[in-house]
Amino acid sequence: MSRRWASRSIGLLVMLWGAAFSMARAATPGVDAPPDPGPPRPVVLPPLVERTLPNGLKVIIATRRELPVVSAVLLVRHGAEADPADRAGLAAMTATLMTKGARRGNKAVDATGIARQAEALGATLDSGSGWHQSTLAMTVTTPRLREALALIADVAQRPTLADDELQRARAQALDGLRVALAQPGSIAGMVARRAYWGDSAYGASPTPQSMQRLTRADVQAFHRHWWRPADAVLVLAGDVDETAGIALARGSVGRWRAGPVPAAPAAQSAPHPSPAPLVVVDMPGSGQSGVVVCAPYAAVRDGDRRIGQVAATVLGGGYSARLNQEVRIKRGLSYGASGGGESQPEGGVFTARAQTQNETGTQVLQLLRDELLRLGSEPPAADELAARQATLVGSFARQLETTDSLAGLVVRQIALGLPLADLQRYVDEVMAVTPEQVRDFARAHFQPDALRAVLVIDRKVAGDAVKAIDAKALTLSLSELDLERPGLVKAKR
């Protein structure tokens, strides 16, 4: 009986397997199998209309009629790079406080009132700051655009910048910094920025000390100095045409007046990397190590910037990119390794990063270094390059799908000081990059002597591995680290 039952069971399994195989072969795409990929669709950027109002403020309109929605972003082309040397975080703090109260008509409206007025329009009023940009933004239905622009205009021109809101925002920022400064990966990123850019403003990160120094007078001065119509751009993306958009802009931000033109922002220096090729920060008790490797990269207006973007994506742009392949997929040394390029007018930096166990920190550091150097001798294969180009083009195309991301795309282009027409050429330029160009870019920029690395690690756990990887390392304890000084070392008393 047992033999007969086994024979029948085996026969039944064979029959079921054969039926499943037949069904799989006959599966209908999109019903019981994934749909077949369709032909590539062209990436179409809507026309961008640019006009300048009498007060010097520029208006850019990108019309999208699919939905009755408009995203409005007011950009001022000054941000963290304009922070005083000992006041890192001032631009961001100013942007934060601007949404916490403003005069509307003859009445002062507090933070709760501003939030309620935005909510009544079915929206939120968001603010932000970064390199070369500070922004106010709202997304509303088309009939509410006039009211939204009136709110943005009042907040931009007449924020109250109240001291109690400064104290509250400072406390929140300090809490965030305490969390960041307890994470080896976050510390490694801050140290790497300072180690690569040196005394340039691009090397600064907000610190507890710089946040404690901020006063209401600092915030008021930053707003008075940099929030001006001649340095501002209003971006409208969505269900609005040129005629209506310009009329609404004239009736709101077009009434913005400012005093005498201030002095231009101080010119920033090019990257000034630390003499030490490796900075090691000893962080006793850290559960993991933070690893960062920096390399020269294309500046904003360099002719090979588009090639650099493709090269950066080959290395660090996605799960199957080279850094993650080597560190996570092949060796399981981290939950993820990534990388990306940052272009500034004065220079650029490519940053590779990962977080791993203390015992494998030096191994991961060497892997990141090796991958940057390998790209200069081993260009991407055709299928590897095509996958990474598809990543870039797909990301660009997704930014055209919603009004807020489309407005953000335009804002980033303006903040970089690049012509809007460059956006129309983006896809063709990315797809034109060849493997040989990627290799040559890496060979020119990712030279061994040009690399700078940071390792935040529990040295007691790591043992002698740190000494073996680079005897010339600048080694600091966490208590000796000073992120406000280009040399990273606290001054001796």
**Which of the two residues, 263 and 410, has the higher pLDDT score?**
410
The confidence score (pLDDT) of residue 30 equals 61
Q: What percent of the chain has pLDDT over 90?
A: 85
State whether residue 449 is helix, strand or coil. helix
Residues 361-383 pLDDT 10s = 999 999 999 999 999 999 999 99
Q: What is the mean pLDDT of residues 345-355?
A: 97
Count of C-beta atoms within a 10 Å radius of residue 116: 11
Copy the structure tokens of residue 237: 């993306």
CATH number for the 48-255 domain, one of 3.30.830.10, 3.40.1130.10, 2.20.25.240, 3.40.50.2300?
3.30.830.10
The confidence score (pLDDT) of residue 492 equals 74
The residues pairing with 216 across neighbouring beta strands, listed in sequence order, are none
Residues 121-138 pLDDT 10s = 999 999 999 999 999 999
Q: How many whole angstroms separate alpha carbon 50 and alpha carbon 236?
A: 10
Average pLDDT, whole number, for the chain?
92
Q: Give the model's confidence band at 180: pLDDT under 50 very low, under 70 low, under 90 confident, else very high.
A: very high
The confidence score (pLDDT) of residue 27 equals 64
Q: What percent of the chain has pLDDT over 70?
A: 93
Distances (CA, A) of 432 to 289, 383, 428: 39, 14, 6
Domain 278-480: CATH class, spelled out: alpha beta
Q: What is the mean pLDDT of residues 148-167?
A: 98
Q: Is the pLDDT of residue 241 over 50?
A: yes
End-to-end CA distance of the chain: 92
pTM summary value: 0.90
What's the residue count for the chain? 493
Domain segments of the chain as ranges: 48-255, 278-480
Copy the structure tokens of residue 354: 């990962």
Q: What is the mean pLDDT of residues 160-189?
A: 98
The confidence score (pLDDT) of residue 354 equals 98
Q: How many whole angstroms separate alpha carbon 249 and alpha carbon 149?
A: 7
Residues 386-398 pLDDT 10s = 999 999 999 999 9
Copy the structure tokens of residue 170: 């400072």
C-alpha 329 chain-centroid distance: 25
Q: What is the mean pLDDT of residues 241-252?
A: 98
Q: Is the pLDDT of residue 349 over 80?
A: yes
Q: What is the mean pLDDT of residues 471-477?
A: 89
The beta-strand segments (E) located in 272-336 are 278-282, 289-297
Q: What is the mean pLDDT of residues 408-423?
A: 96
Contact 323, 369 (CB under 8 A): no
The lowest-confidence range among 160-174, 251-265, 395-409, 412-426 is 251-265
Q: What is the amino acid identity at position 260?
A: P
Residues 434-466 pLDDT 10s = 999 999 999 999 999 999 999 999 999 998 888
Contact 474, 279 (CB under 8 A): yes
The lowest-confidence range among 20-24, 115-119, 224-228, 320-324 is 20-24
The confidence score (pLDDT) of residue 445 equals 97
Strand order in the sheet with 452-457: 337-344, 347-356, 289-297, 452-457, 278-282, 474-477
Q: Is the pLDDT of residue 7 over 80?
A: no
Rg (CA), the chain: 27
Distances (CA, A) of 19 to 6, 11, 28, 453, 490: 20, 12, 15, 57, 73
Backbone angles phi, psi at 108, to 5 degrees: -85, 130
**Which of the two residues, 23 and 183, has the higher pLDDT score?**
183
Q: Is the pLDDT of residue 225 over 70?
A: yes
The confidence score (pLDDT) of residue 21 equals 42
Q: What is the mean pLDDT of residues 197-223?
A: 97
Copy the structure tokens of residue 262: 């201030």
**The domains spanning 48-255 and 278-480 adopt the same CATH topology:** yes
Copy the structure tokens of residue 416: 């970089």
